[in-house]
Each structure stands twice: as C-alpha cells, then as structure tokens.
C-alpha cells in the first residue's frame, strides 16, 4: 500500500489521538508544516477510502479515528509486500522473521518472545471461550 508523506504523518497522528475532525488535524499540522485545510480534508478522505481511517458525521463535520492499530497496519504492509513471494508450504516468511530477529538486541529479543507468548495466550483463551 503506497502512502504519501502527508498520509503517513496523518496516520501517525491518529495513532496518538482518539479522534479529530479536519480543523483539529489542520491546526496540529499547520504549526509544524503549514498547508491548507483543503489539503488536510482531501488527505483524510483518501485515508478513509483506503480504509485506514473511520469517519462519523457530527453536525457539518466528519470526526475521524484510526481504523487499525499501528501494529495491525504494519502487519498488513508485511503481508502485502511478501504475498507475491511466499510459496505455499514454504516457511519463507518465518525464515525472514528469524533473519530479522538476529539483528535484535537482548531486550528487543526478550520483548519479541514476550509478545509471542502473549499472542499464544490470547489464542488459547479465545479457543476456550
């Protein structure tokens, strides 16, 4: 999924705030980088159409919020980049993660192990409920 620079900035913004309208978003970015309200509105609409933002009409304005978490989005990116190269029955993706994990320091590796255990526990709990 290709995202423009402003789309990336806005998506990161919505991972740090629960919700905002176009004027709030414009106010946040105008202090940092300038730009018009119309540009912000167009970018919000593109992100909505890409299913990366939710929106709800309140009065005359839309209120936007992130449609997925940062980690879910990164997972989608990894999947979209790798799906053309993964062969059925092969562990290419797993091998790639193992290769990447060799570059982790001890704390990052421990965090990865803890994340995997937490995911396994969630899967077990969901299976029993």
pLDDT tens profile 67-109: 999 999 998 888 888 877 777 777 777 778 788 888 889 999 8
Burial class (CB in 10 A: 0-12, 13-18, 19+), 66: buried
Say what the pLDDT of residue 95 is. 79
Cα–Cα distance, 112 to 68 (Å, whole number): 21
Q: Across the chain, what does the average pLDDT equal?
A: 90
């Amino acid at each position: 999924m290709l995202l423009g620079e402003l789309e990336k900035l806005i998506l990161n913004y919505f991972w740090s705030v629960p919700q905002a309208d176009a004027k709030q978003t414009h106010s946040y970015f105008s202090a940092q980088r300038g730009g018009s309200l119309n540009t912000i509105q167009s970018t919000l609409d593109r992100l909505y159409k890409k299913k990366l933002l939710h929106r709800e009409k309140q009065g005359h304005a839309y209120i936007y919020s992130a449609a997925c978490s940062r980690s879910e989005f990164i997972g989608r990116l990894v999947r979209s980049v790798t799906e053309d190269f993964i062969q059925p029955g092969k562990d290419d993706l797993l091998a790639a993660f193992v290769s990447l994990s060799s570059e982790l320091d001890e704390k990052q590796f421990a965090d990865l192990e803890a994340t995997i255990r937490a995911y396994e526990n969630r899967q077990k709990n969901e299976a029993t409920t």
